[in-house]
Structure 1
Amino acid sequence: MFINSTMTPVSFWNSVNILIKKFNVINKRLWGCKTMFSGYCKTEHSLWVLPKSCPNLGHEEDLQSYINTLFSKLQIELCDEPKSCYEVVIIELLPKQYTQKKAYQLVFLEKEKVAVTFYDITPEDHNQTLCPSFRYSLALKNKAITLKTSLDDTSNCKSYQWLVDQVLPQFVKWGEEDTRKRPICMESLSLISKDKYYKKYNELKMKYGKEMVEVWPEGTDPSKYVYEDVAIATYLLLLWEDGNEGDFQKKTFVDLGCGNGLLVYILAKEGHTGLGIDVRKRQIWDMYPDDVKLEVKTIIPSDVNLFPEADWLIGNHSDELTPWIPVIAARSSYKCNFFLLPCCAFNFDGSKYQRRDSSKSQYTEYLEYVKDICESCGFETCVDRLKIPSTKRICLVGRKRLHTEDKYQQFCNEIKNLIDKSSECTKIKSSDSTSWVTDFKPRDPVERVKNCTKIEKSITGPIVDCITNYLLEGCNLQTDWSCGKLVDLCELIHLLTNDQLRAMKAECGGLQTLLKNNHHIFKVQSGKVQLRYPKTIEEVKSNTKLDKNIKVKQKPCWFYIHHPQGCPLTDSKCSYLHGTV
């Protein structure tokens, strides 16, 4: 199997590097990969007959014994310097399911031939399903990427089909990507130990995650938000170890814009002292014990909202406070650090950030914008990628200063100049004022519901009428009652004006959301739309998913008033009221 490609040897090896170090980005059964051994060697063997795998490659002594056996049998000689055209790498594949056994691969890189071969060396009793159990290789030759395997018959092999359909095309895509458009951070968990993270995350997941998912009272998806906060807590706990080999360092922290407070809860239960602040209280707050400190407060950037006792400020999806987190941390004290996970893009004044460079995504440009602010505040700023179920997973960490403590006051003065020069904040008060800006727009303490249910009827009415007329267009309305045509949702979008589409987008919804909100009129399923046949009183009451005491005939029947044929049900059978409003 082969794919024509414009890849060069350099880009080929870049793609190989991703397969070795980040195989989990394409293999969804994996959490990650760990390089256990890497070395350059001299060998005449181009096709290998591998020795049997050892019982436990996870133990260092067994791993070394395997390597010694491998090299002696194949007469391989290690090189001190990478002058040879051969390289041997042994990697450990870590499963997403923590209780599942790991798998191991030996990778043989032939530099002169521009080829790489993968061998499964997992002990047979592991019965691994994390990677192909057969030998396979990728090579660049005659402007094509070739995939070869040791299989005699590939017709019914799912692993081979996966290599063809998923791995090979993605491998080529990596090699042909424009490196200038790569994200601001390519490496995941670069500031902490990945081994410790893998173990710690699964411990906290069992300790807090399962229980929280079961009792989650919020309207948000617990499978996402709970495990995301567990992952962020894991990252912070390891970051706070300060490289002291697990030595516990008690920290004080403030989580600005703490939301559901779960991150504060986990960090507090793991021995740290902190406070969570948000503009509004969440239902789950009442479920936390008294030692979890959460406070309802609107933070306005000012001298009165500093935290000199805090070791760390946390900005986890902190919205309009995001660009202010490094400023507040820098002004709070010389020892105060910050962790910042930007999501929605905001300016200093709380308005939405507008992209300036069309060659970059808004997210990438905003990360660069915030990183510049962090460095201007005197922080040596590190950028890292978290392993969380979110597309916005790049974090910024400021735990060192670019200046010594004796220059702290000088940098505080320079921070004020930074705000003064910001094009977004032109209304700055005098230097002796406690407030830093006069036009800052914090979030509304009352959350606005935005799901297309609040759009004015003057907008939704014409949309419903337009779609209804289109569905009934060409139908025979002289005979039986008609539900109209069954059409693709995308076909209906072209019927709407730009103003109507903007009105729905402003309410965090689209046409499908609006139609589903009018489920008594439209049936939306598998991307198809049709008028719904009205339900009878018996049908509504027999639906086991609904409350048995549900009330009927509370609202006017839309079909009776608006459908050209009226309602197909009689007054006594229809679950809605017949008559004009």
Structure 2
Amino acid sequence: MFNTKTFTLVSEKNTGGTKYGFISSLTVWINKPHVVNRRLCGAKIDYFAFIDDLQLQTKLTELTNPDTDNLKNNGYREHDLLEIDNLQGITENEVAVISRKLILKSAKDISHGPQSEIIVVETDSNLDNPEPSSYQLVFIKGSDHDESNKIQLKKLQDSEEVSSDDFGTFEWMTNTLLPKLCNWSAESKLKTSILWKKEREKKKLECLQSFVDLGCGNGLLVHLLASEGHAGIGLDIRKRKIWNMYGKETVLKEVTVTPSAENTFPEYDWLIGNHSDELTPWIPVIAARSSYTCRYFVLPCCHYDFDCKFSGKQQGLSNYRTYLNFVKEVGEVCGFNVEEDTLRIPSTKRVCFIGQDRTYPKEEESLIDDKRSIYIRTRSSSNQSSKSEADDQPSAKYQKLDNGQKWSKEFEPRDQSKEKSRNCQKIDKDIKNLIINTVFKKVLDYDKSEVRHLSDGRRWHKGGSIPLGEVVKLFDKDVLKQLKSELSGGHVQLRDMSLDEPFSKKSQLSKKDKSQYFKTLQCWFYANHPDGCPRTQVTCTFAHGDNDIKQNICDKTKVLKSDDYSVDDG
């Protein structure tokens, strides 16, 4: 039975957060305890439900009874729930009941099995509810005399430590967990996502901001912003296949953006550079020259200068930090008040810069633009080796805003051909067949060829093996030149025409029902090997003849040609 318990104060800490922030911080601690405790891999939520506080005693008894299938009623079950995200929905007479398992990391800890916890979240800590735990975390709103909000750690009166582990002691909770909860409570939830909302409130804007995503890649960010109602476009040097999956509201264009007066965007509010590579240092410049009200967001990744790879390292700083300082400096030279922030994304390159406000009045635009031009020229790759008297003038002709020439003579966008995948897909089919048949014959004619006895009584010649260096000698220079142009030489082509070992235990013990496979390609070994395919028609994932073809119901429009042969290529 769970009885009403008396708790005593262990420690308390001031927080700048609110009750809303406290509940948000508890959500993080419940879902992701490993961000506080590195000895954990995470947590598994077994049960979560809002219940009437009068039913808490009964529910706790059910959850702790091993003989009762207690997770069926009034809650989410395994596989239905990955994370808890709606603790804010607790009403006055409700409590949230959560059952979770802490997943331990080290082998020593794992041997003791996962640690189970039952957590009760309530809006009023003074309620006489039964408690399943030996500790409490309580948010105390500041009084009239003391405006500071507090988070308290309490323990059950006369109780021992929660556990003998380091992270189960009240000392650990006081020194590690409590400060984390206080900090998280003070942080604005989804801080980075409300940037544009705050801007609209500050500037009293009625319309949603418009944008241009330069180097949009897969176009997902453009799609998300467009779905939220923001008007904008995404530009990239190469179209991605996924673009076709987005609706008409997602505008994506395959264009090459060269920094010049022809590529400014005065009708848009924001320029976005999310891993925009060689355009990264140009984003602040293009934004500044598009209009006085244009703003920018840039997330640097690859290190590019205005017209070449970025070089140079400041003493005592990493290459990444040095490059970040450069990108920030570009924004400041362009006349922006540059703000730096760190995104909460799973990447090592998370530092971004925002240019939202100008540091000069609109009347000084021409003067500031001359400074931009001088700065760009001083960093020009040609200027590093030689300087002329003309270069010392305030503004070079090719950097003027009233002509269509490039703002930097040496800037070259990436070659689109280098963006294309080079994995032997462009090799002529006759060349492919020549390579496959030549190598196949050489391997099969090997002096020490192996012979396997198959389960159906057949003898199957496996062949031998030859070094890749010997394979190269089988072809003339023209064939090798074509292979080399595909980056990987013959490695990929030969790998793609391989058959995983049909005699291995892994293959034999497979529990997959291969008879249910949709066979859309002919088996190359069945058609070309003198002994046929070592697998049977049922176990082979490729078709043994035209009658074995099974058209995929998801791709009925695809026409299968009888001369299209393949083997296990992935």
TM-score normalised over the length of structure 1: 0.47
Higher relative contact order (CA 8 A, sep 6+): 2
Larger radius of gyration: 2
TM superposition score normalised by structure 2: 0.48
